[in-house]
Structure 1
Amino acid sequence: MALPAVRLCTGASMPLLGLGTSSVYGRQNDCYRAVKTALQMGYRHFDTAEYYKNEKEIGQALQENFTAGLNREEVFVTSKLWNTRHHPDDVLPACQRSLTDLGLDYLDLYLMHFPVAFARGDNLLPYDDKGQIITLDIHFMETWKAMEKLVDKGRVKAIGVSNFNISQMEEVLTNGRIRPAVNQIESHPYLGCHRLLEYCTAKGVVMTAYCPMGRPGSQEAKEYGVGSLLEDPVIIEISKKHGKTPAQVCLKWQVQRNVVVIPKSVTPARIQENCQLFDFELSEDDMSAINKLDKNARIVGLNWECKTHPLWPFNEDF
């Protein structure tokens, strides 16, 4: 049975649940097994990126299932353009490299991973001798216009952004030729991104939440002064009421907001648990109680080394 989906502005369907693969950065065998497991459990949406260094393994798992009878059209694959590929001349080669590694003729969705351009080259994190990221003076609209040509060429079905704030999205929507289909951002009950979701909904842009459970117990959560979301009394009470796990409640809250979730795991039991979201409903009171947990607590320390850059997105509330 197909998992529920949202409709993109292109008319395509995007499953509300996908498998995130950033947690298996460089861990190729784990990634291959996780994708194979997820496919067996009914997942049809997979999220990756050049930066995760796992596209070949995802491609291997997909190709084995295509050979066994799975249709390409049944699977939704997202990848992302990394920050060192923002120069317009680098966009098509980067996309083609991802397609080759994945063994695909097209991507369902291709996102600009971050609005700030890094120095060109194969060093994905180009630091200077002071420990600062070396950036380039390339505005994301230059990159976006090159990404639009990928749609024209049939390399991708839809394009979108990731980690863009409302002002940056407005710029793309105003000055771009092709509408961004998706904005993928960190979001969980401690970082509800309510303003951004309202904006995206009004503009016909789908919001995807990475880190949808707030990295419980992680060093990052501790550093930012946030306790484990899965141990929050409100989440636990709601989970007991529905006979579900706290993780499932966090994911269901997003799904009921029409937000796509891409939880990451390599553990078969967790992969299965994360997809058991569609046999219960949170009440209005449940949703309201979870909404009130918002602390504006950003846990993922993404590219903080370039936070003085004028295009760094997190100086504006989401």
Structure 2
Amino acid sequence: MSSNNHDYLDVWKGMEDMKRLKLARSIGVSNFNSSEINRILVNSDTVPSVNQIEINPTYTDLELVAYCQSLNITVLSYAPFGFMVPRPFVNNPTNSTFEEPVLVKLAKKYGKKTNQVVLRYLIDRGTIPIPKSVNKERIKSNIDVFDFSLTSEEIYSINELNENAKVYNFDQEHLTAIFDYFDLY
């Protein structure tokens, strides 16, 4: 409900005021679960336009994505590659890699790389993936995903990789590890 004596509903009402004053076109949330979204819906006039949450093949969060989409809340999926890319600030709880047989098979079928299949999977689920890269070639590869689509069966097969393995947990232990790794103290 609140963190550091700040109730997110009060913050939301302030954001609604900014929208009414035309200082923002739309407002959204990040890392909100369905209960937190429900609290906003019951106590305000505005449905969030977006919920930015972690979504990837090993953390599919099917229920929350479906819930948001049922309310026309756009889902931005951060950490789209999950633990398939190195995460030096946490122990890797999964063995998932870009060499997953289902991803390799689909990459061959569509003439793509497995990272492109993952991004297309997220797009075909109706989310907007936001991969991070500073490498020019990876950025080019990440955007080259609009000339193919996955079938619903292929999406389901990637969903089967789910291990409920979140990269970003916001408990004290994980935050400390992230702050230590990025020297944020």
Q: TM-score band, normalised by the shorter chain?
A: 0.7 to 0.9
The one-letter code matched in structure 2 to 1:211 is: A
Task: Let me know the Cα RMSD of the aligned residues.
Answer: 1.8
2:127 pairs with 1:259: yes
Do residues 219 (structure 1) and 103 (structure 2) align?
A: no
- One-letter code of the match for 1:178? T
* 157, 163, 172: which one aligns with 2:31: 163
1:138 is displaced (CA, Å) by: 1.8
Q: Would the aligned equivalents of 1:212 and 1:251 in 2 still touch at CA under 8 Å? A: yes
CA distance in 2, matches of 1:164, 1:284: 27
Q: Does 1:146 align with 2:18?
A: no
Task: Choose from 113, 123, 129 the match for 1:245.
Answer: 113
1:284 Cα offset (Å): 2.5
The residue that corresponds to 1:304 in the other structure is 171
Counterpart for residue 8 of structure 1: none
Q: How many residues align?
A: 173
Rounded Cα–Cα distance in structure 2 between residues aligned with 1:155 and 1:306: 37
Look up the equivalent residue of 2:154 and give its one-letter code: D
Q: CA deviation at 1:283?
A: 2.0
Query: Within 2, Cα distance between the matches of 1:116 and 1:243?
Result: 48
Q: Deviation per CA, 1:145-189, whole angstroms, max 9, x where unpaired?
A: 011111122221100100011111111112122110000001101
In structure 1, C-alpha distance between the alignment counterparts of 2:2 and 2:161, rounded to whole Å: 30
Q: How many angstroms apart in 2 are the aligned matches of 1:224 and 1:196? A: 23
Q: Which runs of 5+ in 1 are unaligned?
A: 1-114, 118-135, 308-318
What is the TM-score normalised by the length of structure 1?
0.52
- The SS at the match of 1:231 is coil
The letter for the 1-side match of 2:166 is R
Q: Return the alpha-carbon distance in structure 2 between the equivalents of residues 116 and 263 of structure 1.
A: 30
- Return the letter of the residue paired with 1:190: T
Tell me how far apart the structure 2 counterparts of residues 260 and 229 of structure 1 sit (CA, whole Å): 21
Is the contact between residue 183 and residue 207 of structure 1 (CA under 8 Å) also seen in structure 2?
yes
In structure 1, distance between residues paired with 2:93 and 2:76: 24
* Matched letter for residue 172 of structure 2: E
Give the equivalent residue in structure 2 for 1:290.
158
**How many angstroms apart in 2 are the aligned matches of 1:199 and 1:217?**
30
The aligned residue for residue 148 of structure 2 is 280
Give 1:224 deviation, angstroms. 3.8
- Runs (4+) of structure 1 moved beyond 4 Å? none
C-alpha displacement of 1:306? 8.4
TM-score (norm 2): 0.87
Query: Match of 1:210, as an amino acid?
Result: Y
Structure 2: where are the runs of 5+ without partners?
175-185
Q: Which amino acid aligns with 1:305?
A: Q
Asked if the contact 1:184/1:210 (under 8 Å) is kept, the reply is yes
The CA deviation at 1:227 is: 2.5
| Aligned counterparts of 2:131 and 2:42: Cα–Cα separation in 1 | 31
